A and B are shown apart, each in its own frame.
Chain A
Amino acid sequence: DVKVTQSSRYLVKRTGEKVFLECVQDMDHENMFWYRQDPGLGLRLIYFSYDVKMKEKGDIPEGYSVSREKKERFSLILESASTNQTSMYLCASSWGQGAGEQFFGPGTRLTVL
C-alpha cells in the first residue's frame, strides 16, 4: 500500500524558531512536493524535487527552504517561523515525468505563536 508519512500531525512553535517538517515516502517515487493549504486558497506549491539533492521553487517559496538528501525523504525548513506561516502543510510524492497522480501525506498543522 502506498504510503507518505509526515513527522508530526500537530506542531506549535514560537516566532523566530527554526522549524523542520519531515516527509518520507515508501514508493520509490522520483518526485516529491510540499504544499500549504489555507481556507479559500486551496493547495499552493512551496517547493518540489525531481531527484536527490535537486529542488525547484514553487509558487510561494519565500520564507521556506527544502532538503532532499535521500530519495525517500523530503524536508521543509522554516528558517525563522512567522505567524503568517501558520497553516496546514501537505507533502506529496509521485512517479517521474508523465505520471499525474500525486500521493499525499496526512498533513502537519503548524501553529506559530
Chain B
Amino acid sequence: QLHLLESGGDLVKPGGSLRLSCAASGFTFGHFHMAWVRQAPGKGLEWVSYISSDTGTRYSADSVRGRFTISRDNTKNSLYLQMNSLRADDTAVYYCARQIGTTAFFDLWGRGTLVTVSS
C-alpha cells in the first residue's frame, strides 16, 4: 500500500528552525520526484519545494527560498524539509507529496504535519 507519513511539526518561535521528515513506503521511493506543499489554516494550497528523484534538481518557491532546504535519502526512503528563520506566515499544515516530473501533478499525499510559528 502506497503511503507517505510526515513528522516533525511543532510550535516554534519566530526566527526558529524545524526539520520535517516524510517516510515513504509501498513504492520505489528513489524512482520518484518529491515535493512539499503547505496549506495555511483555512487557506489554499501552496507549493513549497521540489526535489528530483536523484537529488540533482531542486526548486523552491520565492516565499521560502534561502530559508528552507529540501533533501532526501533514497536509502532510507525519506524526504526532508529543513526550515530556518521561520516566520508567522509559515504557519501551515505541511504535506509531503509525490510529484510527477516537473508538473503540477501530485499523485500521492501524506496526511500532513502542522507547523505553528508563534511567540
Query: Do the two shown chains form a genuine complex with each other?
Result: no
